[in-house]
Amino acid sequence: MYTKNKKSYRDRLKKSYWDRLKKSWQLYVIIALPVAYVLLFSYGPMYGIQIAFKDFDPYIGIWKSPWVGIQNIKRFVTSYSFNRIIWNTISISIYGLIAGMPVPILLAISLNECSNVKLRKLVQTITYAPHFISTVVMVSMIIMFLSVNSGGLNNLITFFGGTRRNFMAEPMLFQTIYVISGIWQGMGYGSIIYLAALTSIDPTYYEAAIIDGATRIKKIFYIDLPCIAPTIIILLILNAGSLLSVGFEKIYLMQNDLNLRKSEIIATYVYKQGIDSADFSYSTAVSLFNSIVNLILLTAVNKLASIYSETSLW
């Protein structure tokens, strides 16, 4: 009797599932496209991770290449360039996070407080535009602006009686150039999510603040910032999870032999070892090491956020 009822229950579930599928098949088709994309381009390439644990030979293929365990990861950790590469990657990421994260927040608050609609739209257009500049064009603009002979910054320096400097050849200035140009390019686009969070704040909060005699500064500190704090925390967690994943293209294009001491990061190192030196196993192991550390950082920061606040990714 129990088996019969159980079978009947399964049949009803199966029938109701097919009824829902027939009724809303368009929705399943729509969701199938992004799912297929993720499976094909995100999970499919994971097949190649095993190269990190093998002495990969392209002529015999992945399966026939001999296993070497974690030898490639040990090779990277014990290499003479390990400390320098890790420090460059972390320092650029933290520098960009500390210097760059407040700027979109301040821009979003300023735009939210601006009562002139035309001025606000003009500022939004001007600040959003750099985001759509390609990396190659962006680096070309940086090199031209900082050029020793004809760069605008050096022309300004000589106008005030200074001497010309080769900024792109000074290792200590590389990170500052990278971060400042990144802030300029991304502050407008980065402010969109904060501006959306500000526009969703209940207007009754501002009405109550006006009745209490709160100034504009106090409304920002006691209404705006607390209300967008969950958004700030979520973005902080996501940025912490990609702490070692500094953008490859821009740094690689800005590199030269003179600033390499401060500009070599994990991404460029992996590219040079994998493409230039054709050491596929070693470069895959370094990239896997990078991903594991990012996962650990993401989990740790998310745990801290859940402990000290009510906002977290999971």
What pLDDT score was predicted for residue 107? 93
What pLDDT score was predicted for residue 185? 92
What pLDDT score was predicted for residue 2? 46
Q: Is residue 207 part of a domain?
A: yes
Q: Which tokens hold the place of 141?
A: 């603009």
Q: Are 20 and 144 members of one domain?
A: no
What pLDDT score was predicted for residue 9? 54
The position carrying tokens 């990277």 is 76
Q: Is residue 59 part of a domain?
A: no
The position carrying tokens 């300029």 is 184
What pLDDT score was predicted for residue 178? 93
Task: Extract the residue ranges of the chain whose pLDDT is less than 70.
Answer: 1-15
Q: Residue 220 and residue 210: Cα distance in Å, rounded? A: 12
Q: Are 27 and 85 members of one domain?
A: no
Interior CA angle at 47 toward 46 and 53, to 5°?
Answer: 95
Q: Are 161 and 252 members of one domain?
A: yes
- 36: containing domain: 2-53
CA distance readout (Å), 20 to 7, 15, 16, 24, 27? 20, 9, 6, 6, 11
CATH number, domain at 179? 1.10.3720.10
Q: Which tokens hold the place of 201?
A: 């704040």
DSSP notation for 157-176: HHHTT-----GGG-HHHHHH
Which residue among 53, 68, 91 closes a domain?
A: 53
Q: Are 136 and 89 members of one domain?
A: yes
Q: Are 31 and 95 members of one domain?
A: no
Q: Residue 223 and residue 209: Cα distance in Å, rounded? A: 9
Per the structure, the count of domains in the chain is 2
Q: Are 115 and 262 members of one domain?
A: yes
H/E run at residue 125: helix 117-128
